[in-house]
Chain A
Amino acid sequence: MDSLTRVTLAYLTPFLHWLHDSRLGIITRQYHYVFTACLVLHFIGLSLLMGAMLIVDLRLLGFPRQLPIAAAMKFLPIAIIGFLVNLCTGVTMVSFDPIDYWLNPAFRIKMALLLLGGLNALWFTLVEHRQVLSQPSDQRTTIAVRTSAALSLFLWFAVIYWGRMIVAFQSSASF
C-alpha cells in the first residue's frame, strides 16, 4: 500500500465504517437487487449528464455556432439531475463495501477526477457563467471558458473510463 493510500485511508476510515454500518449499507448488502438497480440507474444518469454536458461544452468550444449559448445552457439542469442520480446511486453502491472501494486504485482515481470536475464546474459557475450568458452569440468565447469546457469534457470521459476500470481492478471480485 502506497503512502497516499495509507494517509487517506487513515482519515477516511471512520467515515467509511460509518457508511458501511449505516442503514443504507445494511439494506444494500441485504437486498442485492438494490445494487443492481443502482447500477442501471447509474448508466441512465450518466447518459443524462453526458448528453447535456456534450451540448453545453461543445457549444462553449464553438460548436454548433448557430446555437445561441444561452439556449445551450438551458440543458444544464438536466446535467445536474443526471449528476444527482449518479451521486445517490454511487453512494449506495459504495455503501456495500466502502473500504474495498477505497482500496481500489481505479475508484480513488475516479474520485480524484470527480473532485477536479467539480472544482472546474464551480469555477465556471462562479467566475464565467454570467459573462458567457451576456456575450453576443456570434462572438467567440474567451480562452478561459474554452479551456474550462475542454477540461470538463476530458474529465467526464475520464471519470467514465476509471469507473469502468473499478471492476477490472477488483482483486477479489465481491459478486
Chain B
Amino acid sequence: MTHFLTPGQGLLDWMQSLPVSEWITDSNWGFPIMLVLHSWGMAAVVGILVMLDLRILGFARIVPLTAFQPMMSLAWAGFFINLISGVLMFMADANRLIVNWSFLSKMTCVVLGGIITAVLWRRLRAAGALAAQHSAVQSSVAVAGGGAVVAVNSEDSLATAPLAVDRSVRILAIISMVLWTGAILFGRWIAYVMDNMILHGAFGGP
C-alpha cells in the first residue's frame, strides 16, 4: 500500500510486534480493558472541559472560574490516561489505523482541541490578571487609607474575572465543544472504517 507514511513501515511493524501489542490483540481482556480506560479518561477530560465551556458560555454563572483551576488537574489526569491507552491501542493495530481517515480525523480534533483549550485558558488567565491589577490598586488605596491589606493572589484573580467573559473566549469555548464532540464522533467511527468492520469483536454496533 502506498501512503505518505510508508517510509515508517518498519516502525509500524515493530510497534505491532511488541509483547504489549500482542497482549492487546490476542488476549481476551487486553482490548476491552484499554477501551474501559479510554472511556474513563474521556469522562474526565471531555466532561470537565465541556463544563468549563458551558460556564464560559454563561451557564452556572455563580460558579467562580477559579474553581476550574483544581478541576483542570483532573482533566489532565483523564488526558494522560487516554494518551497512554490510546498509544497502546494504536501500537496494537498501527498499520491499519495510520490509513484510517476516521482515526486521523479524531487525532486532528484532539490536537486542535488541546490547542484551543490552552489558548482559552491563557485568555482567562490574562483577563484574571487584569482583574488582579485592578483589585491590587484598590487594596493599595485601602492600605493608604489605613484599611486592612487585602491579599491578592492568582487564584483570586480568576475569581474576580468579569462574569461575562470576552466574546472571543466564548467563541473559543464553542469551538472547543465542537472539537471534543468531533473527537468522540470520529473515535466511534474508526471501527466502521476498518476493513472488516469488526476489531476483536470489541466495538459496539449492529
A interface, CB within 8 angstroms of B: 28-29, 32, 35-36, 39-40, 43-44, 46-52, 54-55, 58, 63-64, 66-68, 70-72, 74-75, 78, 96, 156-157, 160-161, 163-168, 170, 173-175
Min CB distance B151 to A, Å, is 13
Interface majority SS on A: helix, strand, loop or mixed? helix
The 4 closest A-B pairs by CB, nearest first: A51-B47, A50-B43, A74-B60, A67-B67
Stretch with Cβ within 8 A of A (4 or more), from B90-98, B116-124, B129-137, B196-204 = B196-204
**Residue from B46, B47, B74, B188 within 8 A of A40 (CB atoms):** B188
CB–CB A64/B71 < 8 A:
yes
How many residues of chain B get a CB closer than 8 Å to chain A's CBs? 46
By a CB distance below 8 angstroms, the chain B residues around A75 are 51, 60, 63
Min CB distance A107 to B, Å, is 12
B interface, CB within 8 angstroms of A: 28-29, 31-32, 35-36, 39-40, 42-44, 46-51, 54, 59-60, 62-64, 66-67, 69-71, 74, 155, 159, 180-181, 184-185, 187-188, 192, 197-198, 201-206
Q: In the bound complex, how far is the Cα of B108 from the Cα of A13, in angstroms? A: 45
CB–CB A167/B202 < 8 A:
yes
Interface centre among A48, A168, A170 (most CB of B within 10 A): A168
Closest-by-CB residue of A relative to B66 is A66
By a CB distance below 8 angstroms, the chain A residues around B67 are 64, 66-67, 71-72
CB–CB A74/B43 < 8 A:
no
Q: In the bound complex, how far is the Cα of B206 from the Cα of A28, in angstroms? A: 9
Closest-by-CB residue of B relative to A48 is B50
CB–CB B197/A47 < 8 A:
no
By a CB distance below 8 angstroms, the chain B residues around A50 are 43-44, 47
By a CB distance below 8 angstroms, the chain B residues around A156 are 43
**Residue from B35, B39, B63, B198 within 8 A of A67 (CB atoms):** B63
**Residue from A52, A64, A166 within 8 A of B51 (CB atoms):** A52
Min CB distance B56 to A, Å, is 14
CB–CB B71/A160 < 8 A:
no
Q: In the bound complex, how far is the Cα of B155 from the Cα of A67, in angstroms? A: 12
Closest-by-CB residue of B relative to A46 is B43
Q: In the bound complex, how far is the Cα of B67 from the Cα of A155, in angstroms? A: 25
Q: In the bound complex, how far is the Cα of B59 from the Cα of A67, in angstroms? A: 15
Min CB distance B122 to A, Å, is 21
**Residue from B43, B51, B70, B204 within 8 A of A39 (CB atoms):** B204
CB–CB A64/B50 < 8 A:
no
Min CB distance B159 to A, Å, is 8
CB–CB A67/B64 < 8 A:
yes
CB–CB A78/B54 < 8 A:
yes
